[in-house]
Amino acid sequence: MGRPIGIDLGTTYSAVSMLGEDGTPTILPNREGGRITPSVVYFQDDGSVLVGEMAKRSAAVNPLDTVEWVKRHMGNPDWRFEAPNGVVHTPESVSALILKRLKEDAELYLGDGAVRDVVITVPAYFDDAKRRATKDAGRIAGLNVLRVLNEPTAAALAFGAEKERDGTFLVFDLGGGTFDVTVMNIRNGVLDVMGTDGLHELGGKDWDDRVMIWLNREFQAAGGPDLMATFEDEAMLRDRSETAKRTLSQALTTKVPLSAGGVTRTLSLTRDTFEEITSDLLNQARDMTISLVEELGLGWSHVDQILLVGGSTRMPAVPRMLEVVAGRKPQVAGNPDEVVSLGAALQAGLEAPGRDDTPPLVVKDVTSQGLGVIALDADTGQERNFTIIPRNTKIPAKRSEGFSTVVDGQTEINIRVTQGDDDDPTYVKLIGTQTIEIPPYPKGAPIGVEYAYDIDQIVFISVYDYSAQTLITSFEVTNDANLSADDIDDAHDDNRNTEVN
């Protein structure tokens, strides 16, 4: 069966870890010897693909055949990518190619059999569709996904297991494409998540985008053409912008050489300017962090440590902002690029059947999204979103709500499943619908709707006929973003036959 592994499937970089014989998680290097692998896929004309560093290098010269930041598209039913050989890929199938590469690298390093069991991490604020898509990607890659684990929880798991410290921790997780903030308490071997919030489209890429806009404007002002006009020039600009951002984490100024349309210029970008043009992005993360602490009824004196997770926390403005807000310096939770993967390996040791590699902490996580149903409000006669399982409820969770038919002889009800905590249906996300037949009862016949979140925050619904005291039906949430079993099987066959280098 092989040994269970933990995978941090990141927006920009991914990492793989496994428990050693002594129960300590360690990073498994990829085939080039690197400890992290770029989450980039380059599709070649012959149907084979490059994943990782070579694919990232190819993005600058072959941008139309390269996929980056696919994690931002997980759960999006409208996103498709057509490879040069005509094969159309979903976010799940592209992510599966990254997972296949990580799986094969782990097998190559271990040299003792196939890797199958895995825990994959996701942003805490991922919704049902994105979590299902992540699990589907694992299945397409031939993996048995034991658990989908929240990234801040994984980081705290690795930190808590290593430091053996109790207390209340705030995990500030700013990665390449997503942001999460989570508050948790560690006491007597139990990691108890108190609350979480986040944005699935706020990360280092957004800082890169601001640098791109600034450099492009300055280049045009210096007589150069619009670098956004061609895919090739834009890819070059993005590469230079990311490099500039990384340099400014260490230096106060950087030189950026740009060349296009016969014009060559070297522009100077200072850290002060960089922080000025990206200040609103950092403010979004700041405001969400303050809001979560207040929502949980805590003061900053109740937070024992602030842990930095994710490569984008290396930007000096991040720890400086947190020190101003909290009144104390944050602490780096190990290597920001690796700690999530290490925590996933610890959880894999707990989840894998027949394993004795039990991590020293028990995890009690929470829902990152409220779960509700749209129905008529008896008092107003208007549609309203009824939250059945509020955000930050301990998982697994199961709760129910009673409703009633609205007309005599009603023969069906439409269950509209939502994520979000607002009463107004306009401000919540509809994640699935199901029309259910019922007996033609008089108006006011009682109907029960029971919602459940499993440990992966996947949604399940049961509908009860209270008049007959019977279960009418149970179903999982499905929508256009979910792949069917046949889709997954077909994608798995394609994945298995695709050469990944």
Q: Is residue 493 domain-resident?
A: no
pLDDT in the model for residue 163: 55
pLDDT in the model for residue 483: 61
In the residue annotation, 499 being an active-site residue is answered as no
pLDDT means over runs of 10, the chain (501 residues): 84 92 88 94 92 88 90 91 92 95 93 88 87 92 92 84 75 92 87 88 94 97 94 92 96 96 95 98 96 94 92 95 95 86 89 57 83 88 91 90 91 90 90 89 92 85 92 78 64 74 75
pLDDT in the model for residue 159: 80
Q: Is residue 258 domain-resident?
A: yes
| Same structural domain, 353 and 376 | no
Pairing mode, strands 117-122 and 144-150: parallel
Can you give the C-alpha Rg of the chain in angstroms? Answer: 24
- Tell me which residue range forms the domain holding 379: 371-476
Q: Is residue 184 domain-resident?
A: no
Pairing mode, strands 446-453 and 429-441: unpaired
In the residue annotation, 71 being an active-site residue is answered as yes
| Same structural domain, 12 and 147 | yes
Catalytic one among 151, 351, 357, 465? 151
Q: Is residue 481 domain-resident?
A: no
Find where tokens 């996933």 sit: 344
β-pair partners for 471: 464
| Same structural domain, 62 and 157 | yes
How many domains, the chain?
3
| Same structural domain, 214 and 85 | no
Phi/psi of residue 391, each to 5°? -60, 145
| Same structural domain, 226 and 154 | no
| Same structural domain, 341 and 237 | no
Q: Is residue 185 domain-resident?
A: no
| Same structural domain, 220 and 243 | yes
Residue 359 CB contacts under 8 Å (≥ 6 apart), including other chains:
23, 157, 161, 346, 347, 349, 350
In the residue annotation, 398 being an active-site residue is answered as no
pLDDT in the model for residue 1: 47
Q: Is residue 87 domain-resident?
A: yes
CATH of the domain at 149: 3.30.420.40
Q: Is residue 330 domain-resident?
A: no
Catalytic one among 104, 173, 197, 242? 173
Pairing mode, strands 117-122 and 5-8: parallel
Catalytic one among 8, 68, 104, 365? 8
pLDDT in the model for residue 486: 64
CATH of the domain at 217: 3.90.640.10
Catalytic one among 56, 71, 100, 103? 71
| Same structural domain, 142 and 40 | yes
Instruction: Please state, in angstroms and rounded to a whole number, the distance separating the CA atoms of residues 28 and 16.
Output: 6
- pTM score: 0.86
In the residue annotation, 173 being an active-site residue is answered as yes
| Same structural domain, 61 and 153 | yes
